[in-house]
Chains A and B, each alone.
Chain A
Amino acid sequence: MNFSDLLNIGLMQGFAGLSLFAVLLLMGLGLAIIFGQMGVINMAHGEFMAIGAYTIYLGSQLTEQYAPSLMPVYFPLAVILAFCFAFAGGWLIEWSLIRHLYKRPLDTLLATWGISLAMQQCFRTFIGPKEVSPTLPDWLLGSWAPVSGLDIPRNGMFVLALTAVVTCGVLLALSKSRWGLRVRATVSNRVMANATGIDTRKTDRLTFAIGCGIAGVAGAAFTTIGSTGPTSGQLYIVDSFLVVTFGGAASLLGTVVSAFGIAQTQSLAEFFMPGSMAKMLTLTLIVVILMMRPQGLFASKVRR
């Protein structure tokens, strides 16, 4: 074990932390948008991620069967499709359920939990109970090794890039686009926004759908890391919640910082101690900090 080996491992370890950060951020982002902007907790968030993941899986199956020559390029297309499907699902659910419950935020939590149960059973009935995993294009497999001994995972790089694109997109859209303006107006004063001619209902629906769409993209990205089953959503949502809660729910910046903090803590802890211990340590830290700052790292300024 010489110095350059150690350096390589250090670099790879840094990257491991970064890619975990990307994963957590991507998971939490959609949830944070919906909660931060609308005050709605979407318990079906994980299932929207599963929709994204299943889209990729079906995409890979269809491509393999009907157009094997397209295998190298199907993935980005399927990611876009994943966004669209999850977006459409979100739109539908906002229209049919959520909009009736804005005055009762705790009830949205129960209703969306019901939706998540129904979606799980749909996955089980229509796709099957087994865990599936799409056939990935070659450029997503294996590692990029600029020098011998240094292996940077390609799926990690992909997720990192995707997260960067999505996060920047969301931040830009919120600060620059008409939608962003409407959302910010609606958040700060719903009645006033309505009075100035902003269709707040449409804004809400769009926001919810975009949040779900991002969940779909997140799910799509995870197919490069793990597998997808009917109950995968429940696994995802736990991490998403921790990130958003810890970050302070209402703030996107908080979500970013908290994802980074959790990822680095866990990744470093995992390197120096057994995995289960590391998870425990991370969770304990989160709890202790939440006890001291129950409103999360970046609480909104508005007093309750």
Chain B
Amino acid sequence: MSNTDFAIAIEDLTVSFDGFKAIDGLNLYIDQNELRVIIGPNGAGKTTLLDLICGKTRATAGSIKFKNIELTKMAEFKRVRLGIGRKFQTPSIYENLTVFQNLEVSFPKGRSVMGALAFKCNDEVKARVQVVAEDIMLADRLDLEAGLLSHGQKQWLEIGMLLMQSPELLMLDEPIAGMSARERELTAELLQRICKGRSVIVIEHDMEFVKRIAHKVTVMHQGKILAEGPMAKVQADPNVIDVYLGH
């Protein structure tokens, strides 16, 4: 099978920590422009899978191909430069900087040391920040210190920081954790907006939310894929029911 059609193709991926296999022979293919949601009970290996893709954890075996480029041996920052963006489970932003600075730092220019020294915040950067800030509904808070944002806004800001880089693959680890109902609503809209022109992987527990956004759902259990398909099909799968309700 050719991998070229997929945004990301994962084959036989395995990672073991001292013999414990957190991911065990996993195969996963995600299309261009797809929004895929990964669900599964705690300890299923969802976050580890994202860690493997973005490089936070190194694979023991198997391959990850992004745009047909092998990632497993690549340094993290290079994967980012290829177009992979990752939001962490707990919002990871620079609390001491303003919202503007947070976004500005994420602008994909001046990434080398010399580039950073020569970097100038010109109109192009400012315009880009403005666009993204409007996307993430923080346009009126640009001068606020990021630490003062609400939890939900911090989540958005982190998503915004990823959008600054215009990634082709966006991975979001529990993006609506700690959000109010209204914020969830807005986030769902946000996700639908931003998955145009890029693939998105979301890890989420909230089934209502998943139903709302998912194109396709993958269920993971003990490092393996248990089921995959549209939400309705997956929900009817007896294995899945067993895993979620069986114990």
Contact = CB atoms under 8 A, between A and B. Distances in A.
Interface residues of A, number: 2
A100 interface: no
B208 interface: no
A176 interface: no
B75 to A, nearest CB: 14
Nearest to A302: B17
A303 B76 CA distance: 14
A301 B57 CA distance: 12
Contacts of A303: 56-57
A67 to B, nearest CB: 56
A301 B16 CA distance: 12
A136 to B, nearest CB: 47
Contacts of B57: 303
Contacts of B18: 301
Contacts of B56: 303
Interface in B18-62: 18, 56-57
Nearest to B57: A303
Interface in A261-304: 301, 303
A129 to B, nearest CB: 49
Interface string A62-94: 000000000000000000000000000000000
Interface in B115-135: none
Contacts of B17: 301
A1 B66 CA distance: 72
B43 to A, nearest CB: 16
Nearest to B58: A303
A116 to B, nearest CB: 34
Interface of B: 17-18, 56-57
4 contacts: A301-B17, A301-B18, A303-B56, A303-B57
